[in-house]
Amino acid sequence: MSDDLVRVAVDEERCIGGGQCEMLEPEVFLLDEDEVISSVIGSGELPRPRADVVVHRCPGAAISIVEPQRPSE
Amino acid sequence: MALTEQALAPADLQDPATFSQGVPHEAFAEMRARPTLSWTPPSGGDRTGFWSVTRHAPVSEVSRDTDLYSSAVGHIQIYDIDEDALSARASMIDLDPPVHTRLRRLVSSAFTPRHVQSYETAVRSRIAARLDALVRAGGGNWVEAVAAPIPIGVICDIMGVPESDHDYMIELTDHLVAGTSSKPLEPTAYGNTTDLRLLPFNSPAAHGINEYARALGERRRAEPADDLVTKLIEAEVDGERLTDAEFTNFFRLMVFAGNETTRASMAHLALLLMDFADQFEQLRSDPSLMDQAVEEVIRYSSPILYFRRTLTRDTVLQDTPLRAGDKVVMWYAAANFDEEVFDEPLRFDVTRPLRPPNTAFGGGGAHFCLGAPLARLELAVLIGAILSRGIDLRLAGDPVYVDSNFVNGIEHLEVEVR
């Protein structure tokens, strides 16, 4: 089950532009250089353990897991 | 809960003398072992006492809930100050979201993990120059030679303070923490005309920093540069420029926080190199352990001992009923040695897992240390440079700790280089 993909989202009101998400998962998060707010790029899908790390590492507690996705092959 | 049932803190946590040999591990261990938070009754001019949080989990809980545990209500240090003093000195660390968030975003892009990589070359050359000078001298005061000048140099570069003024910034910020400097100040030092109780740390040096910031801001207004002072001068929050006080408070926070903290961990690093030489040998043979070694140095040195929050509503924390207005003190230096989280916490171990994280940068949430990626870079480069030069330190005198219950600093550390 640990390979389940989940979708992550950024709460822009809470984002403090710490950039941890972008460093950990550059394929999923992009920190806008002007607004210094992170946003999800692409599908926003990550394996659950990696999503958990990003959620926990976010200094602004701005990232959440929104919905479980289908299991990966 | 009746007062008699409350667990009183076993040490005077407001007395800097309690921290004169570093973190009071025994007292903190006793407090962590208790089922509830520990209480310290009011003393001095304070109307209320405070609760001490010493375990890792509740420190994290308090850090992350800024609605319940406010930075804007009351002071973020244990002692109370008047409302006018609170607002006169307020910077983003004294505010809650969403105001805090808007201010933090003004500077956050300069400190993201991606952006701090661009400082690496400058950091490397600063560190090389200081280490090479220490080696040539055969030793000296590690704090003055290495730990103090490197972080202030790096943060001053980012702010836009010219090299010729770096020593002046060290001098001024030294005075902000009681005991970081041995030279006591007259209330009128640095041309101070401000009521001391309105100044951070009640120090006339804060006036000196404010005046310096104002003058530098004026220069950048006339001649913008690629630095943070220019960015702050030009910044708009909700369509408004920062006020004079917002700007100077911001500047002061940045030079203080970018300086005293990394300086403390670099000072402790020297002690750790001597006390746990085998661990650094292991790192030398396996450089892939660097991230863990850096976190372990940061955990072990816990540069900021605590921050306080103030309750906005009644709640219960660690089986302790708390009331609106109560002071809650997060002892990061205690949570970093929580036996439930860190196996054999007093062991310095470069293989310690990165998760769960230490609380030296705070317990997470909105106020998590802005400069964490920069501090990590500076420490990694310093450790790498020490190991690659084969620098072997020997203690040449008892370390003198900073006289403070807030910064776990070292004022003087005499070393020989072999």
Residue boundaries of the structural domains of chain A: 5-68
Give the H/E segment covering residue B383: helix B372-389
DSSP notation for B299-355: HHH-SB-EEEEEESS-EEETTEEE-TT-EEEEEHHHHTT-TTTSSSTTS--TT--S-
Interface of B with A in 108-167 (CB under 8 A): 108-109, 111-115
| Count of domains for chain B | 1
Q: How many angstroms away from the CA of A67 is the closest CA of chain B?
A: 23
One-character DSSP codes across A42-71: TT-EEEHHHHHHHHHH-TT--EEEEEE-PP
> Considering only CB atoms, which chain B residues are within 8 Å of A20?
113
Q: ipTM value of the model?
A: 0.74
Residue B98 contacts A where some CB pair is shorter than 8 Å = yes
Whole-angstrom distance, CA of residue B315 vs CA of residue B162: 49
Longest dimension (CA), chain B: 63
- Whichever domain contains B155, its CATH number is 1.10.630.10
Amino acid residing at A44: G
Residue span of the structural domain in which B232 resides: 3-417
Which option is the CATH number for A5-68: 3.30.750.24, 3.30.70.20, 3.40.50.2000, 3.10.20.30? 3.30.70.20
DSSP code string of B252-273: HHHHHHTTHHHHHHHHHHHHHH
pLDDT 10s per residue in chain B (418 long)?
444 456 999 999 999 999 999 999 999 999 999 999 999 999 877 788 999 999 999 999 999 999 999 999 999 999 888 888 888 888 999 999 999 998 998 899 899 988 899 999 999 999 999 999 999 999 999 999 999 999 999 999 999 999 999 999 988 988 887 544 445 688 888 888 888 888 887 888 999 999 999 999 999 999 999 999 999 999 888 888 899 999 999 999 999 998 899 999 999 999 999 999 999 999 999 999 999 999 999 999 999 999 999 999 999 999 999 999 999 999 999 999 999 999 999 999 999 998 888 999 999 889 999 999 999 999 999 999 999 999 999 999 999 999 899 999 999 999 999 8
Q: Report the C-alpha gap between B347 and B318 in whole angstroms.
A: 27
Residues of chain B numbered 208-247 and touching chain A (CB < 8 Å): none
Q: What tokens appear for B274 in the block?
A: 């001597």
